[in-house]
Amino acid sequence: MRSFEFTKMHGLGNNYIYVNMFVENLLEEEIASIAINAANVHTGIGSDGLILICPSEVAPVKMRIFNNDGSEGKNCGNGLRCVAKYVREHRIVTEDTFLIETMSGVVEATVESLEEREAIVTVDMGVPQLATEAIPILVDKKSRVVNEPFSVGETIYHVTAVSMGNPHVIFYLDDINMAPLTTLGPIVERDSRFPEGVNVEFVEVVSDRELHFRVWERGSGITQACGTGACAAVVASVLNNKTTRNEETIVHLAGGDLFITWTNEGTVKMKGPAETICTGTFYYN
C-alpha cells in the first residue's frame, strides 16, 4: 500500500486534489489512474480532478492538471488561482507576483490577499487565440469562428470559438436556467469538428458588464466553475458586441463570481477566490 499527502482546494466550487510534487513522487505511468481513483466521490476523495504542483525549468512552479476521467488538460483558471495560493502560503515562492508554467504556456499570478483558508488571486491568462487551427475547430474557409452557424442534428445554433490555452465554444441563450448542459454539452464536447474535444459554455448576457455562465467541461462534465471558460465567454462577448473591451465584466458562475477584463494590451485578466477545503493522506495500491 502506498500513499501521498494532498490538499483539496476549490475555486468557486471547481474543486481539485492538489499534490506537492516538490515533496511527493508519483510515477508518471500511474498518474492518470490515480486521478480517476482519487476523484471518485464514492471510493476516493471526490473532485473534478487532480492537479500536480511541480518544479519547472522556466518558472518557479509548474501546474499539471488531470481531469476526473484521467485525461490531461492544458490549462485551468480556477486551478491556477489555487496553485498560486498554495505555493505562496507554503513559501515555494516568496513574492506576491510570480510565474506559473502550464501545458499551454507561462502565466503571471498575483496573490492580492492571503488568509489561512482563502486567497484572492489575479491571473494574467495571456492573449486569447481565435484562429481556427489554434482552437482547434475544423471548419471550411474560415480564419475564425465568431457568431457562425453550427448545426447539431437538425438544429442550427450560432457559436463563437475561443482558445485560452484550451478550446472553448460559446452558445448564447436568453435564460441561463434553460441551458442544455446535460443534453447539448456532451454531444458538442465530442463533436468531430473539435478534434481535441471542447469545453462547452452557455452564456446569458445581463448587461455590457455582466454575464450569467454555465459550463460542460471537457473530460469532467458539469462543474461549478471554469476560469478559462469565463475568460473565453468575455472575449466572445466583446467580439459579438455584447460587452465592452478593457472594462471589468462580472461573470456569475454556478459556484460564484469571477471578474474578467480583456485588456487593450491583448491579455485577459481573471480575478477571483481560491479556498482550501481540507488536507489528508490518500492510500492507493
Q: What is the 3-state secondary structure (H, E, C) of 98-126?
A: EEEEECCEEEEEEEEEECCCEEEEEEECC
The whole-angstrom separation of Cα 198 and Cα 62 is 23
Give yes or no for residue 201 having a pLDDT over 80.
yes
In a domain, 67, yes or no: yes
- For residue 95, what is the domain's CATH number? 3.10.310.10
Tens digit of pLDDT for each residue in 223-251?
999 999 999 999 999 999 999 999 999 99
CB atoms within 10 A of CB 279: 11
Average pLDDT over residues 22-41: 97
pTM of the full structure: 0.92
Tens digit of pLDDT for each residue in 126-141?
999 999 999 999 998 7
In a domain, 138, yes or no: no
In a domain, 10, yes or no: yes
CB atoms within 10 A of CB 145: 24
Q: Are residues 72 and 161 in the same domain?
A: no
Give yes or no for residue 277 having a pLDDT over 80.
yes
- Which residue has 476549490 as its cell numbers? 10
Cα dihedral sign for 172, 245, 144, 126?
negative
Cα-Cα end-to-end distance for the chain? 5
Domain that holds residue 193: 148-266
Q: Active-site residues: which are they? A: 76, 226
Cα-based torsion angle of the residue sequence 16, 133, 169, 62 in order, rounded to the nearest 10 degrees? 20
